[in-house]
Amino acid sequence: MSALLLLAALAASLLASVSDARSRIIPNGSCLCVACAGLALQALRAWMPAAVAALPVEATLASSLPAPVSCVIAGACALVVGGAGELLVRRMFGRPGVGMGDVKLCAAWACWLGWLALPAICAACLAGAMVALVRGQRAFAMGPWLTAAFALACVAPALFGLLRMSP
């Protein structure tokens, strides 16, 4: 079940990435889909832990994540802190920083990963900034970089867990 939620979240995030790369706009619907799938996963983990633990992919993914409540709190904190930071940048410099779509996408993925979203966000920002610097760009679309970082952060633990379980 949670593997299907992850696929839905990755598909929505991929759509957000394409939109961001083309028009520098991340649709609210994509962020909402990722967040709802993450909240559904946390509800499954909190209320039906035996069902989640019974499936190999779900068990390895769920065991690598923080507690469900802390994931939900991390999503809310990411939205509030990221939104406040973006508004502060806009007020100080008169132009957007990363953009509110990026903030909402990060908050949605924080519902999945909890505090583990922070390293993924840092890696995405660093990788995107390095490529933009090499290309001589002053700005770049964060959506594709965020999607890649979060996909890796979600899929890698499940893959490594399954590899460890193989004979």
Say if residues 35 and 111 touch (Cβ distance below 8 Å).
yes
**What pLDDT sits at residue 69?**
94
Query: In the structure encoding, which two tokens stand for residue 50, read together?
Result: 């035996």
Question: Please, what is the average pLDDT of the chain?
Answer: 88
Interval 11-31 mean pLDDT: 96
For residue range 89-140, list pLDDT tens digits in order: 999 999 888 899 999 999 999 999 999 899 999 999 999 999 999 999 988 9
The pLDDT of residue 165 is above 50: no
The pLDDT of residue 155 is above 90: no
Kind and range of the H or E run holding 145: helix 143-165
Distances in whole angstroms, Cα of residue 81 to Cα of each of 32, 84, 87, 111, 152: 18, 5, 10, 14, 24
| pLDDT category of residue 65 using cuts at 50, 70 and 90 | confident
| pLDDT category of residue 13 using cuts at 50, 70 and 90 | very high
Amino acid at position 12, single letter: A
| pLDDT category of residue 62 using cuts at 50, 70 and 90 | confident
Counting residues of the chain whose pLDDT is more than 70, the rounded percentage is 89
